[in-house]
Amino acid sequence: MFAAENGLKGDPRLEAISRSIRVIPHFPKPGIMFQDITTLLLDPKAFKDTVDIFTDRYRDMGITVVAGIEARGFMFGPAIALAIGAKFVPLRKPRKLPVLLILEFRVCFAEFTRGSYFGVLRLEYGTDCLEMHVGAVSPGDRTIVIDDVVATGGTLSAAIKLLERAGGEVVECGCVIGLPKFKVHSKIKGKPLYILVEPTELDDCFQGCRTSNVGENGH
């Protein structure tokens, strides 16, 4: 579901958030319209409004865990967690979290925590898997998942699986940007998806970005 259709219709903050996101064509691959939220982070009002909208939504929902997806979910998740008084749990890309040295336990650890979707779900421009620490989420924890962009939904699906395997209850996924298709399919693995804005089309930076990207990536 989109915020504009769920209580924030006509809210000027959404328009400003949308405008603050830079679009970079053909990054990281030809054909991808990359939604660059680093420009949102450079705009303190848009950044604060983004965090506030999520905070207002989740404050009274009994949320105990905010799970942020590496890397860009780490930019929004901790502020939301602090504001609502919840734990922040990083969901990381492979081989970033410390491992335990007892072999059997390490095998169990990997089995238990790895929400791999390699070869199963195709992402917009890659495949990957997510990991989290055993014990970060406890059975019964009421969890939200925060990320910047939802495109195919593969990343959020893996996050939901991972959190549920640890016994967490995933209440909702919150993303800053989501494709319009999620107006119709507003759930991922049966969990509600809350999105602030649609991807912006080419903006004023188009020419400059395209020129530099094409050069840098050799396309």
Ligand X SMILES: Nc1ncnc2[nH]cnc12
Ligand Y SMILES: O=P(O)(O)OC[C@H]1O[C@H](OP(=O)(O)OP(=O)(O)O)[C@H](O)[C@@H]1O
DSSP bridge pairs for 177: 149, 197
Q: Site for ligand Y (CB under 6 A): which residue of 17, 146, 150, 166? A: 150
Q: Is 119 exposed, middle or buried (0-12, 13-18, 19+ CB in 10 A)?
A: exposed
| Residue with Cβ nearer ligand Y (58 or 76) | 76
By the rule CB under 6 A, 92 interacts with ligand Y: no
* 163 neighbors 188 (Cβ within 8 angstroms): no
Please report how close the Cβ of residue 118 comes to ligand X at its closest, in angstroms: 16
Per-residue tokens: 33: 């319209």
Query: Beta-carbon neighbour count of residue 71 at 10 Å?
Result: 12
Q: Cα separation of 38 and 22, whole Å?
A: 8
Name the helix (H) or strand (E) containing 22: strand 22-25
Whose tokens are 């395209």? That residue is: 210
Contact track, ligand Y, 59-88, x by CB under 6 A: ----------xxxx----------------
| Residue with Cβ nearer ligand Y (27 or 58) | 27
Please report how close the Cβ of residue 128 comes to ligand Y at its closest, in angstroms: 6
Name the helix (H) or strand (E) containing 171: strand 169-178
| Residue with Cβ nearer ligand X (24 or 170) | 24
By the rule CB under 6 A, 131 interacts with ligand Y: no
Partner whose footprint covers residue 150, from ligand X, ligand Y, none (CB < 5 to 8 Å by kind): ligand Y
* 143 neighbors 170 (Cβ within 8 angstroms): yes
Contact track, ligand X, 128-167, x by CB under 6 A: ---------------------x-x----------------
Partner whose footprint covers residue 116, from ligand Y, ligand X, none (CB < 5 to 8 Å by kind): none
Whose tokens are 């990536």? That residue is: 217
By the rule CB under 6 A, 196 interacts with ligand X: no
Interface with ligand X by CB under 6 A: which residues? 32-35, 124, 149, 151
